[in-house]
Amino acid sequence: MKYYDKLIFELSKPGRKGYSLPAGKWTATLSSIPENLLRSEPAPLPEVSEPDVVRHYTNLSGMNFGVDNGFYPLGSCTMKYNPKINEEAASLQGFASVHPLQPESTVQGCLQVYHELEKALSAVTGMAAFTFNPFAGAHGELTGLMVMRRYHLDRNDLKRTKVIVPDSAHGTNPASAAVCGLQVVQVKSTPEGLIDVEDLKSRLDDTVAGIMMTNPNTLGLFETEIREIAELVHGCGGLLYYDGANMNPLLGKVRPGDMGFDIMHLNLHKTFSTPHGGGGPGAGPVGVSERLAEYLPDPKVTADADGVYHISRSSHAAGRVSGFMGNFSVLVKALAYIWTLGRENIRMAGPLSVLNANYIKESLKDVYRLPVDRVCKHEFVFDGLADTSTGITALDVAKRLLDYGFHAPTIYFPLLFHQSIMIEPTETESKETLDDFIAVMSKIAEEAASDPEILKSAPHNTPVRRPDETLAATKPVLAFNG
């Protein structure tokens, strides 16, 4: 990767342009707008040529690392291969040029995508209905909790203002609950890394709206007591929410609906292979069981007996969570992925991701500390190096991995350990790639003993090296100012 130190503004020169528009032959001009409604100075946007723009952003891309560049074992992020046919399907002009408010009869193709994807995701998850309006995983969580609250409120069950969240949960869980006006009650983990059922029992009463669970949890461990947990929560009148961030190992193997979950979200950009885009756009569709279907937010696609699709509203809906109907083109990509896998290959997706994770775990557990030594699902967590005498941290290991051409794992999450290194390989990585990664991780463990300084000062081969985050936060520079 080559360091490139320009901002587009620094390429600007008055008189250059990067666009061509038709000559306007209209009689009305902007000068008829009253002056007090106009901005006083033009916006100081760059003036650059088209080749300037192409070269600038191509150079910027050269400082980025994506799944197409190499192995990206970022825990809880499911960085699997993003198939290219999906991109082609999503960019078809027949989809890309459709206005979201066009009459139903003119958008039957778009509506069919919603309908087909709802059928497919219902089949894979065991849920009865989905909304595709949420834009991301966190947005799905918020939407799912809105459905949960609407359900209780609709039954005039007004006391239920608490939601139970395990201490190992993703940070979005408690944040989504708070945005939704719910009070967060934390439930402990056992030393084995699972929900402490006794602690859970002590927190259940008729003020509990539900529980948010990630299963397998953020340690990559399957919550083996799920049946009892479901019975306990349902027994007190609460609902079970499934955080689909960790759905990948269960894909084709276990359905959240069968485990007793009432509401769930899926991250299409994780489990269903749509690209992460450097932080979106993703999609966070929310699925519910039959009794909750009427509470899904407006609007929703329905099909009538003649196979004609409609855009419908429900008088019980939890409200509206997006301007139109979600990130449509992301839905096209996910559907293309499911159809490519088909009913045969989808059965292999989860198991191969689990195989890959366990293979790395077993290969490295002598040199990295494995706090919970049992079969994992799609990911697992090391708590730093086995040899704790070196003073080498999770951060040092992560930065050194960049030198060797791998993306770093997730570090310092979950918060249950001090030196968490969370590794998720996904099913699209070959044994050879995993072997290379294992060799490098072992080599880093050796370096920790033989040459710790090379780790402390890593990375050495990247465009920049450990940027000063404290400076960025204490003297914030958040925009170019000439």
Partner 1 sequence: MGFSYFPHTDGDIREMLGRIGAGSLDGLYSDVPQEFIFKGEFDLPEAMSEMEVRRRFAEMAERNRKLTVFCGCGAYDHYSPAVIPYLTSRAEFQTAYTPYQAEVSQGTLRYIFEYQSMITMLSGMDCSNASMYDGATAAAEAMMMSIACTRKKSRVLLSRTLLPQVIEVVRTYAGYHGVDIGYVAADGGVTSLADLQGQLGQDDVAGVLVPSVNRYGIIEDLSGFADAVHAHKELLMVYADPSALAVLKTPGEWGADIACGDCQSLGLPLSFGGPYCGWLACRKEHVRKLPGRIVGETVDMDGKRSYVLTLQAREQHIRREKATSNICSNQSLMALYVTIYLSLLGKEGLREVNALSYGGAHYLYDSLLATGLFEPVFDRPFLKEFVLKSSLPAAELQQALCEGGFFAALATEEGYLSFCATEKRTREEIDALVACIKDFAHKMHERK
Tell me if 269 sits within 8 A of 276, measured CB to CB: yes
Nearest distance, CB of residue 369 and partner 1, angstroms:
19
Residue of the chain from 246, 327, 419, 420 that contacts partner 1 (CB under 8 A): 327
What does the alpha-carbon distance between residue 182 and residue 146 come to, in Å, rounded to a whole number?
Answer: 10
Binder to partner 1 among 234, 310, 347, 369 (CB under 8 A)?
A: 347
Residue 363 binding partner 1, by CB under 8 A:
yes
Token reading at 65: 């690392």
Taking the least distance from each CB to partner 1, the nearer of 5 and 453 is 5
Give the per-residue contact string, 209-238, with partner 1 (x = CB under 8 A; - = no).
------------xx-x-xx-----------
Between residues 64 and 388, which has the closer beta carbon with respect to partner 1? Answer: 64
β-strand pairing of 183-187 with 309-312: unpaired
Figure out which of the listed residues 237, 285, 326, 384 binds partner 1, where binding follows CB under 8 A. Answer: 326
Phi, psi of 287, deg, nearest 5: -110, 150
Least distance CB 463 / partner 1 (angstroms):
5
Over the window 174 to 213, marking each residue x when it contacts partner 1 by CB under 8 A and - when it does not, the resulting string is xxxxxxxx--x-----------------------------
If one asks whether residue 62 binds partner 1 (CB under 8 A), the answer comes out as: yes
Q: Which is nearer to partner 1, 204 or 267 (CB)?
A: 267
CB of 383 to partner 1, least distance (A): 19
- Pick the piece of the chain touching partner 1 (CB under 8 A) from 134-142, 232-240, 288-296, 440-448: 134-142
Q: Exactly one of 189, 246, 248, 329 binds partner 1 (CB under 8 A); which one?
A: 329
d(CA 292, CA 290): 5
Q: Which stretch binds partner 1 (CB under 8 A): 234-242, 416-424, 442-450, 467-475?
A: 467-475
∠ CA 4-9-13, nearest 5°, is 115
Using CA atoms, how far residue 187 sits from 144, 340, 371, 456, in Å, is 20, 40, 20, 36
Residue (of 272, 287, 214, 288) closest to 245 by Cα position: 214
Binding partner 1 by CB under 8 A: which of 75, 113, 209, 447? 113
408 binds partner 1 (CB under 8 A): yes
By CB under 8 A, name the one of 75, 237, 238, 275 that touches partner 1: 275
Contact with partner 1 (CB under 8 A): which of 117, 123, 302, 379?
A: 123
Candidate segments 204-212, 380-388, 444-452, 470-478, binder of partner 1 by CB under 8 A: 470-478
Report the distance separating Cα 330 and Cα 298, nearest Å: 19
Query: Is residue 281 reached through a cis peptide bond, with omega within 30 degrees of 0 on the bond before it?
Result: yes
Query: Are 334 and 272 contacting, i.e. CB atoms less than 8 angstroms apart?
Result: yes
Contact pick of 316, 343, 418, 443 for partner 1 (by CB under 8 A): 343
- How near is the Cβ of 450 to partner 1 at its closest, in Å? 22
CA distance 214 to 360: 22
Q: Is the peptide bond before 371 cis (omega within 30 degrees of 0)?
A: no
The binder of partner 1 chosen from 61, 155, 159, 439 (CB under 8 A)? 61
Cα 283 to Cα 132, 332, 385, 413, distances in angstroms: 7, 11, 36, 23
Interacting positions 280-299 with partner 1 (CB under 8 A): 280-282, 297-298
Residue 475 Cβ, how far from partner 1 at the closest point, in Å?
9
Q: Judged by CB under 8 A, which of 73, 79, 211, 300 binds partner 1?
A: 79
Task: Tell which positions 21-60 bind partner 1, by CB under 8 A.
Answer: 21-22, 24-30, 32-34, 36-40, 42-48, 50, 53-54, 56-58, 60
Beta strands 208-213; 380-383: pairing state: unpaired
Ramachandran region, residue 339 (left: φ > 0; alpha: ψ -120 to 50; beta: rest): alpha
CA 215 to chain centre: 15
- Could you say which of 219, 293, 301, 338 contacts partner 1 (CB under 8 A)? 338
Counting contacts by CB under 8 A, is residue 265 touching partner 1? Answer: no
135 belongs to the binding site for partner 1 (CB under 8 A): yes
Q: How many Cα atoms within 13 Å fall on the side-chain side of residue 247?
A: 31
- Can you tell me the distance from the alpha carbon of 157 to that of 316, in angstroms, rounded to the nearest whole number? 15
- Rounded to the nearest angstrom, the gap between the alpha carbon of residue 148 and the centroid of all alpha carbons in its chain is 21
CA dihedral sign of residues 457, 460, 465, 466: negative
Rule CB under 8 A: say whether 67 interacts with partner 1.
Answer: yes
Distance CA 377, CA 254 (A): 12
Tell me whether residue 235 or residue 342 sits nearer to partner 1 (CB atom): 342
Which x/- pattern, by CB under 8 A, does the window 411-430 give for partner 1? --x-------------xxxx
Number of CB atoms found within 10 A of residue 104's CB: 14
- Tokens 């290219």, located at residue: 84
Nearer to partner 1, 19 or 235 (CB): 19
Specify the amino acid at residue 203: R
Shortest reach from residue 389's CB to partner 1, in Å:
25
Least distance to partner 1, CB of residue 385, Å: 20
Comparing CB distances to partner 1, the nearer of 194 and 392 is 194
- Gap between the Cα atoms of 330 and 339, Å rounded: 14
- The neighbouring-strand residues paired with 187 are 166
